Amino acid sequence: MNCHETHALLHAYLDGELDMVSDVALAHHLDQCPACAQAYQSQQALRAALRTSALAFPPPAHLQRRIRSAVRRASRTDTHAGVWAWPWLRVGAALAAGVLLMWSVESLWSGPAPEDLLTREVIAGHTRALMATHLTDVTSSDQHTVKPWFEGKLPFAPPVQDWAAQGFPLVGGRLDYLGDRPVAALVYQRQQHIINLFLWPATPDEAPGETRRTRHGYNLIHGTTADMTYWVVSNLNMRELHEFVSLVQQPVLPSRTP
């Protein structure tokens, strides 16, 4: 089995859906191939992170309010309508609440847009790094140490800069796996806040511009530079996080000889 086949079958392998022969062949390939083993471990860690309570969230407040007020409305009608109507109204209210709940859950979970999926992966990557004490593979505030560390580990050279002078010191870097591709994760700090900057080469079809979002207490900014796609995630406030992104967007200066 080659790397291409392994990648195609990795999810099925993790789900235990492969036949015995493919299962053994894939396990054998993972033993032999560090790149695929890394992808396998990332997928496994991602699944574990998605299962933890840190990423689970309660139903949105507006949904709870709507169900409550639907039930209240029904019970008000109940007292006016008299004793004959009440069982049907109760059933009606329960059905309405059920339909509302199903609709809301469906709109939350059915077929999230690829970008939403990526948002979840970015947050999972960030929390996984924070939880698993695996923040960095290479720990250094020196861009001349971190940048060469990626050589040969990724099919591209991520721009690495230290912004200590601007209040965002470089902590280090690590490999991560997002949206079915290996990516560079650069770790920065702002006071006690950790910032993960994920980078990979931009594709020509990517729309320019920047999106900001807040999910589960994390702020995320996503955009493209001249040649890189970036995702920035942190619990730092949006204003300072955007200050950081403006540094990311600056063209990389030719590096000094150390």
The CB-of-36 to Zn ion minimum distance in angstroms stands at 3
The CB-of-44 to Zn ion minimum distance in angstroms stands at 16
Question: C-alpha angle 216/221/223, rounded to 5°?
Answer: 145
**Nearer residue to Zn ion within complex by CB, 36 or 124:** 36
3 binds Zn ion (CB under 5 A): yes
Amino acid at 244: F
12 binds Zn ion (CB under 5 A): no
The CB-of-48 to Zn ion minimum distance in angstroms stands at 22
**Nearer residue to Zn ion within complex by CB, 37 or 71:** 37
The CB-of-137 to Zn ion minimum distance in angstroms stands at 19
**Nearer residue to Zn ion within complex by CB, 41 or 52:** 41
Question: C-alpha angle 131/137/139, rounded to 5°?
Answer: 100
Chain positions 21 to 50 lying near Zn ion, rule: CB under 5 A, are 33, 36
Site stretch for Zn ion (CB under 5 A), options 1-9, 151-159, 202-210, 244-252 = 1-9
Neighbours of 7 (CB within 10 A): 15
> By rule CB under 5 A, what count of residues binds Zn ion?
3
Nearest to 127 by CA among 50, 192, 182: 50
DSSP state letters, 16-48: T-S-HHHHHHHHHHHHH-HHHHHHHHHHHHHHH
**Nearer residue to Zn ion within complex by CB, 36 or 241:** 36
| DSSP letter assigned to residue 54 | G
| DSSP letter assigned to residue 150 | T
Which pair of tokens denotes residue 103?
């609709």
- What number of H helices and E strands is found in the chain? 8, 7
**Nearer residue to Zn ion within complex by CB, 33 or 247:** 33
Interface contacts to Zn ion, rule CB under 5 A: 3, 33, 36
